[in-house]
Chain A
Amino acid sequence: MFGSDSSKNGLIDVSEELARKNFSRRRFLQFGSAGAATLTFAPLLSFFSEYGEAQIDPGVLEESIRSTCALCVNKCGLIARVHDGVVHKLDPIPDHPKSRGMLCARGNSGIKVLYDPNRLKSPLIRTGPRGAGQWRQASWEEALDHIAKNLLEIRQKHGPEGVMFSSTEGFQEHFFLSFAEAWGSPNVVRHPTLCLASMINGTFNTFGSVPEFDFANSRYVIMAGANRFESLVTPDSVDLMRNLDGRTKIVVLDPRFTITASKAHEWLPVKPGTDLAFALAMLHVIIGEGRQDQEFIDRYTVGFEELADHVKQYSPEWAQSECGIDAKRIRKIAREFADAAPRVVFYPGRRSSWTTNDTQFRRAIAIVNAVVGAWDRPGASVPKAKISIGEPDIFPPDDIEVARCDALMEDFPLANKKDGTYLGVRDQILQEKDNHIRAWMIYKQNPLHSVPESRKTLEMMNKLDFIVTIDTMPSDTAWMSDVILPESVYLERTDPPHSISGAVPLVAVRQQVVKPRFDTKPCLDIMKSLAERVDLGEYFDYTVDDWFDAAASTLPVSVEELKRKGFYTDRELPEIGNTLKDGFRFRTKTGKIELRSQRYADAGYDPLPVYRPQTPLPNGKYRLLTGRTAIYTHSSLQNVSWLADEDPDGPNVWIHPDAASRHGVRDGDTIGLRTDYGEAQAPVKITNRIRPDSVFVPHGFGHTSPGLHERSRRGARSSDLIGTFQDEITGNAAMHETAVEIFPVPGGHHEEHIPVSTRRVGR
């Protein structure tokens, strides 16, 4: 497969290699058009312009390799067009069940990620004070020996639990977690408590599963805060976008007039943190007016009588006083929604880390869907299926008997034990309730950005003896580490096949498209080599090929077919209605859809969602909101020039014109932002697309790492401002509880401010 690249040592930088060839581009194009009109010769990559004129041998045909994108969580299907060891273009796989034949701006910019000049190129060992940026390049042997020595010393003194492991999802994360398990540390903390933990908990404890959505057939969709046209989730975003010809009514609740709101039939600028009042009032109207699907309720649910009693108190008039949405409008929407059922979705959201009562809000959304019978029917929420695939036989590690450091089961008995809670772990370390944890292994995550209150994260890091970060870019977190290990980027790796659940489930394949440009390795190779050094090699007695063989052995396709197609699925359309058949048992305590949750009651939580007002804003302060755009993924990809060039919003903090005039700031000024947790500065965008009481700080800007390009350092780092609040049930970080002050700063007014040059529609 990689024959065209076989003459090269994988360590040579192909761009430099090609730059040494001295042909002109024009001659190549001439040949292409005159000599071989039917062959597709890929144009040259623009990165050549950074390295000089280059030329591709026109005798070598383009090769197409199918793989899976890794630039966000979605796993979209891509076809890499490779020419002589250089990736020219990433095309979408047309019939891919997850991405539906598209790639977004990020997916299309993947070649710029591969050829990013700021990538980590070899292992680095810190030589000066932490964070001072004094590094020396090391061989893998040396770096891994160094890590093994430090980890073993800590294990001797503090036990295996002395090492904490943090990671985020990805096809290689399994190997990092396998190492943590074999090592014997219970102190693993993953990303869900910075993201969707509350949505999963609230939805799961109602339906016994977390569904997908048959948007293609939906007639009415309510989105509360979920910005699905800027924060893309496949297939949700894609399916809903394709309905934007008027056939689906969309209602958006959001303190900002997002692009999703701009495409909706109604935008309701809800007061931040009060969306639960709206959902409860909807239930009040639907049940009060007898618009529920009683047949569905009787057959599939428990707790309706209690629910009906419970929501009597939540009238639309009451909700209006809480959330600011007109009572008449709430009534109208509730009626329309019930009338359009079951082809309706009250969307549960993805990142649901907003308020301390978030899980109850997600529960309320699930309950609204349930009472109108919008479950497992066309146009409604539909359960996901999963294709089970084989795995290699692996020597299982012993059970870990040491308790987690974050007292998770005491504080959050219903939280996911394996994922932990980020804020909980940090508190334990900072309060020195647990002096065992001395080292931190971090994979594919950037806690200095993703975890609120960065000053505390930094303080925690300063308490630790040893920090290792595995990443592809010199992130802020990597910069504060003692050893950095460079992982190969997704186009350079073959990952084990992954089964991805969905209404149409799939097995996704990520395979190597080009050899690594630098001295980097996939996570598996890294963990395997480290395991050997700490006497745990037997737990990694397999290769990626073994994973492919094991998966294919349980599928009706061969490894070759899997790789050729880039994915496998067992159906073209969702199978809808299975959970409504006689005898189906929902995975809840009662086996039914739980309008009233016995599990919550047993754990001491409200079994029906109870509204609790958010802490009022102190005078003169604003509610800090954060979120993203379709251009970047969390705190990654800000370094990509193509994306930064095409980002119309940039690092700008949004404030309403009333706030601007109150503080005497003008569009484009640099302003100061202050919370009880930190300070930052950022350029400001004055816009009536936000409520007057809110300030929007986009996530992912204000990187501090000097290893990144200047463009990554623009703006404010949202984690410098957001405080430590947790959802009561899951421990999910509540990121919209913080109050922020804004103020002009000396020298912040820029006379020569040039707004982002965006083309205006001219008719």
Chain B
Amino acid sequence: MAPRYIMVIDNRKCVRCKACVIACRAENDVPDGYSRNWIAETDVRGQFPNLGLSFEPGQCMQCANPHCVRVCPVGATDRDEDGVIRVDADTCIGCRYCMQACPYDARYPHPTKGIADKCDFCTDRIRAGREPACVETCPSRARVFGDINDPQSEVSRLLAEHRTSRRKVEAGTEPQVYYIDE
């Protein structure tokens, strides 16, 4: 079966070190002031000294039912067979409809390329059989990437062993990034 790529993120292991964010900037030539991925954080919960604070890495959720693809007027963004949503830089006219449609705020307007850029799970790397830069560099292995069609893969194992959740499923996007919550 052809691979279909997803990500499982273990929020318990994220320490907000930002290695993933900087690795992505370097790998994907993300201009200063913008980012393809991020680490979100909660407000501090509770009263001193019983406090809580959690982090949640994120990026394009590679939705199985992507709004961004539907709204694109020129067909520049599409979901490929491997499940990854990619932007064709030559076709994209930078109209930003996809940015409006994305419930995850996962795209940014590239200031010099004039496209709505976003995470593509590091296409060059995964085609060469490597992990996305953010996954490879993550010190705690909070980010796990792999093929959901392969029952032996780490992501399949994690999905089988853990209760996971997804973000904003009510938007009908069928996001393909799964979270193990803290």
Q: List residues of A whose CB falls within 8 A of some B CB.
A: 25-26, 29-30, 32, 37-38, 40-41, 43-46, 49, 53, 88-92, 94, 100-105, 107-109, 111, 229-230, 232, 237-238, 241-242, 244-246, 257, 259-260, 262-263, 267-269, 630-631, 641-643, 645-648, 656, 687-689, 692, 758-763
Contacts and interface: CB of A to CB of B under 8 A. Distances in A.
Contact of B137 (A103, A245, A759): A103
Nearest to B13: A244
A698 to B, nearest CB: 15
B53 A262 contact: yes
B44 A687 contact: yes
Nearest to B140: A241
B32 A641 contact: yes
**What 8 A-B pairs are tightest by C-beta distance, nearest first?**
A241-B140, A759-B40, A108-B22, A229-B15, A102-B139, A43-B29, A105-B18, A262-B53
Contacts of A44: 29
Nearest to B166: A763
B148 to A, nearest CB: 21
B125 A40 contact: yes
Interface in B88-130: 89-90, 112-113, 124-125, 127-128
A245 B125 CA distance: 28
Interface in B41-56: 41-44, 47-49, 51-56
Nearest to A658: B48
Nearest to A30: B90
A72 B141 CA distance: 21
Given A241-B15, A689-B44, A760-B40, A49 B23 contact: no
B17 A232 contact: yes
B133 interface: yes
B137 A102 contact: yes
Interface string B4-23: 00000010110111110111
B48 to A, nearest CB: 4
A630 B125 contact: no
B29 A91 contact: no
Contacts of A109: 22, 26
Nearest to A39: B128
B154 to A, nearest CB: 13
B47 to A, nearest CB: 7
A45 B27 CA distance: 8
B15 A37 contact: no
B22 A646 contact: yes
Contact of A108 (B89, B125, B137, B165): B137
A263 B15 contact: yes
11 contacts: A40-B128, A45-B29, A101-B136, A102-B19, A109-B26, A244-B12, A245-B13, A246-B12, A260-B15, A642-B22, A759-B40
Nearest to B26: A89
B71 interface: no
B28 interface: yes
Nearest to B49: A269
Contacts of B89: 26, 29
Nearest to B30: A46
B83 interface: no
Contact of B41 (A241, A630, A761): A761
B66 interface: no
B31 interface: yes
A687 B139 CA distance: 27
A105 B21 contact: yes
Main SS class of interface, A: loop
B49 A267 contact: yes
Contacts of B125: 40
B51 A89 contact: no
Contacts of A229: 15, 17
B27 A43 contact: yes
Given A49-B32, A49-B112, A269-B49, 20 more contacts: A40-B128, A45-B26, A45-B29, A49-B31, A90-B26, A91-B136, A91-B137, A94-B136, A104-B139, A238-B139, A241-B140, A246-B12, A259-B15, A259-B53, A263-B15, A642-B25, A646-B18, A687-B44, A692-B48, A759-B40
Contact of B127 (A37, A647, A648, A692): A37
Given A229-B17, A241-B140, A245-B12, A89 B27 contact: yes
B49 A244 contact: no
A105 B43 contact: no
Given A244-B12, A630-B18, A758-B41, A267 B140 contact: no
Given A104-B139, A642-B22, A89 B127 contact: no
Contacts of A645: 32-33
A259 B53 CA distance: 8
A257 B40 contact: no
A108 B26 contact: yes
A90 B47 CA distance: 42
Contact of A761 (B12, B40, B47): B40
B18 A631 contact: yes
Nearest to B180: A245
B17 A105 contact: yes
B138 interface: yes
B67 interface: no
B74 to A, nearest CB: 16
A262 B52 contact: yes
Contacts of A29: 89
Contacts of B79: none
A689 B22 CA distance: 26
Interface in B72-93: 89-90
Given A44-B29, A689-B51, A761 B56 contact: yes
Contact of B40 (A244, A643, A758): A758
A760 B41 contact: yes
Nearest to A245: B12
Contacts of A267: 49, 51
Contacts of B26: 45-46, 88-90, 108-109, 111
A649 to B, nearest CB: 10
A642 B132 CA distance: 19
B138 A102 contact: yes
A754 to B, nearest CB: 14
A257 B137 contact: no
A268 B49 CA distance: 8
A41 B127 CA distance: 12
B10 to A, nearest CB: 7
B48 A104 contact: no
Contact of B124 (A41, A245, A688, A759): A41
Nearest to A103: B137
Nearest to B134: A108
B140 A238 contact: yes
Nearest to A641: B32
Contacts of A241: 13, 15, 139-140
Contact of B43 (A38, A268, A760): A760
Contacts of A30: 90
A44 B124 CA distance: 13
Contacts of B30: 46
B47 A688 contact: yes
B141 A242 contact: yes
A347 B99 CA distance: 47
Contacts of B133: 89, 91
Contacts of A32: 124
Contacts of A648: 16, 41
A567 to B, nearest CB: 18
Contact of A242 (B27, B44, B140): B140
Most chain B CB inside 10 Å of its own CB: which residue of A26, A44, A100? A26
A26 to B, nearest CB: 7
